[in-house]
């Protein structure tokens, strides 16, 4: 029997966290190649440490995307985040680019040719999830953890808050009663700050962001705040801790409230099902919940490298479903094209839309006017209802 009353915690990290700096850089390279040629192939890993940025991986794309252009975009990404520190500065950090041509063996399995459709870029399992805990149909702990940091970053960029640095982390613990979140029992925020700020001053800057983000009634005198619990956080970013692409996969998805297949997103073009199929699974799960077919929904899909259609589609609604899960799985399989080409085409994933996904979660975001976050659209609701009628 599942618990109905419990505490659950999720964490987020800001755009200036070392791993997120690397995710942003890797996705900047993806966007650069896709802008030049939507058929480009990119698998870009980034490492960042004290005044050093290293890119490695495999690419296939136009010769117009030179190392000089890549370095320019890398530096601009670091500048946009806000790093102008002695130990990590967008102008002075060394940039090594070690990208090379994609393996022809991989290309042969993925590319369409003759009667063969485009295949998955790798084997693996991917999950999507949605629930009714928030308007974004996301689990509440990760949703509010992201939102605290996003608001802090907006204020930092706008200059309305002085003294906070780019690197920060949050963690929200919520109490659930009868399976629904009702109260924040503790909130953790650690943020980089100027050396001349006292901890009382940092506390005073951060606390309003927490209180304005959490729903009314969720914070009271019993809520415990841990703001910079180490006591000092001046050295931050890649100067304080080495960063790598793809190390924040739970932050990027559902904060531990749903399964994860293990594959990271950033740095990968949309032929890589680690990314595109996880987006598609979220899209389907969100539409299932939005259609009123369940209050919670997990979708699992699996693929084999070079094979164009999923090997399996699994649906779990945790006892909240209003239709049979086997029937729902069948309807999804028969009515939604979850092949790599089908996903990429329906969700318009060959556009340069990925740098914006690198921080504050890949899910629960608003679709934008330039084609980003298409997997958050509720454009399957009527189709699902019709197919199940």
Binding-site residues sit at 17, 19, 45, 58, 102, 167-169, 232-233, 241, 247-248, 264, 268, 272
- What are the CA-CA distances from residue 147 to residues 172, 225, 229, 328 (Å)? 11, 16, 20, 32
258 in Cβ contact with 236 (< 8 Å): no
Residue 128 token pair: 């999507």
Residue 297 CA to residue 313 CA, distance in Å, equals: 13
Spacing of C-alpha 349 from chain mean position = 15
- The annotation places the binding site for Mg(2+) at 19
Residue 23 CA to residue 15 CA, distance in Å, equals: 9
Q: Residues near 171 by Cβ (< 8 Å), separated by ≥ 6?
A: 9, 10, 11, 12, 145, 186, 187, 188, 189
Backbone angles phi, psi at 332, to 5 degrees: -60, -45
- The annotation places the binding site for L-methionine at 58, 102, 241, 272
H/E run at residue 201: helix 199-213
- The annotation places the binding site for ATP at 17, 167-169, 232-233, 241, 247-248, 264, 268
- The annotation places the binding site for K(+) at 45
16 in Cβ contact with 166 (< 8 Å): yes
How would you classify residue 3: left for phi > 0, otherwise alpha for psi between -120 and 50, otherwise beta? Answer: beta
What strands lie across the sheet with 296-303, from one edge to the other? 124-131, 296-303, 312-316
Residue 257 token pair: 């409230």
């Amino acid at each position: 029997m599942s618990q109905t009353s419990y505490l659950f915690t999720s964490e987020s990290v800001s755009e200036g966290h070392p791993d997120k700096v690397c995710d942003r850089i890797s996705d900047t390279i993806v966007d650069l190649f896709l802008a030049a040629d939507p058929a480009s192939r990119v698998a870009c890993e980034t490492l960042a440490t004290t005044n050093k940025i290293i890119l490695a991986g495999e690419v296939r794309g136009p010769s117009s995307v030179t190392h000089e252009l890549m370095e320019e975009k890398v530096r601009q990404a670091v500048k946009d985040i806000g790093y102008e520190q002695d130990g990590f500065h967008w102008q002075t950090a060394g940039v090594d680019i070690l990208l090379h041509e994609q393996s022809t063996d991989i290309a042969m399995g993925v590319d369409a040719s003759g009667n063969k459709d485009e295949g998955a870029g790798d084997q693996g399992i991917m999950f999507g999830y949605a629930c009714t805990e928030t308007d974004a149909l996301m689990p509440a702990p990760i949703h509010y953890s992201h939102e605290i940091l996003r608001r802090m970053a907006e204020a930092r960029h706008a200059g309305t808050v002085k003294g906070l640095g780019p690197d920060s982390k949050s963690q929200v613990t919520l109490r659930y009663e009868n399976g629904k979140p009702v109260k924040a029992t503790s909130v953790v925020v650690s943020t980089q700050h100027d050396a001349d700020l006292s901890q009382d001053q940092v506390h005073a800057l951060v606390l309003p962001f927490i209180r304005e983000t959490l729903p009314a009634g969720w914070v009271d005198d019993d809520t415990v705040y841990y703001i910079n619990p180490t006591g000092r956080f001046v050295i931050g970013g890649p100067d304080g801790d080495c960063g790598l692409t793809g190390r924040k996969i739970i932050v990027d998805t559902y904060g531990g409230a749903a399964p994860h297949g293990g594959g990271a997103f950033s740095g990968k073009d949309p032929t890589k099902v680690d990314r595109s199929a996880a987006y598609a699974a979220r899209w389907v799960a969100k539409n299932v919940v939005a259609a009123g077919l369940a209050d919670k929904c997990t979708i699992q899909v699996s693929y084999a490298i070079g094979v164009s259609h999923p090997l399996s589609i699994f649906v779990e609604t945790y006892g909240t479903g209003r239709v049979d899960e086997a029937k729902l799985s069948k309807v999804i399989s028969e009515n939604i094209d979850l092949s790599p080409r089908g996903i990429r085409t329906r969700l318009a994933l060959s556009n340069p839309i990925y740098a914006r996904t690198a921080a504050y979660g890949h899910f629960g975001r608003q679709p934008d006017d330039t084609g980003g976050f298409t997997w958050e659209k509720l454009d399957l609701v009527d189709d699902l209802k019709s197919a199940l009628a």
